Amino acid sequence: MPGFLTHFTNNEVLDYFFGCHETPVRPVLWVGLATNPANKEGVINELTSPGYSRACMPNTSKFFGRAKNGKKQTVADIVFPAFALNGERIATVFISDSVRDGIVLAMVDMDPPYATAPCVRAKIRAGALTISHS
């Protein structure tokens, strides 16, 4: 699943490396699921299925390995709490800085869109989520 950083995150990276160091590292990230395609603006149509919630991911090397060739990959599974899929199709995985709302930092299209059984415990396997700076 290749994905990309949103405009917001690209601007934060540029500011961090070129003179504006006010951006704190977020200690926890939240991984969510959306029904719309990934986009650089970070606009999401998040799932509304009963019981769905974002998965918590500590922002450490235990979850993200070091960047290589301009890409960063997860090195641990991301497991979502069990929820009942309400006829929605999961098209995108996104990473946010908040458990609700917040800023979408990166988005990854699922290819093809993923339809699941009525009750699911979604899991993204280690190494399956790749984010690039492009």
Instruction: Give CA 4 to chain center in angstroms.
Output: 10
Distance CA 18, CA 13 (A): 8
pTM value > 0.75: yes
Please state the rounded mean pLDDT for residues 86-92.
83
Distance CA 53, CA 20 (A): 33
34 has a pLDDT exceeding 90: yes
Identify the band that residue 131 occupies on the pLDDT scale cut at 50, 70 and 90.
Answer: confident
116 has a pLDDT exceeding 80: no
Please state the rounded mean pLDDT for residues 54-75.
85
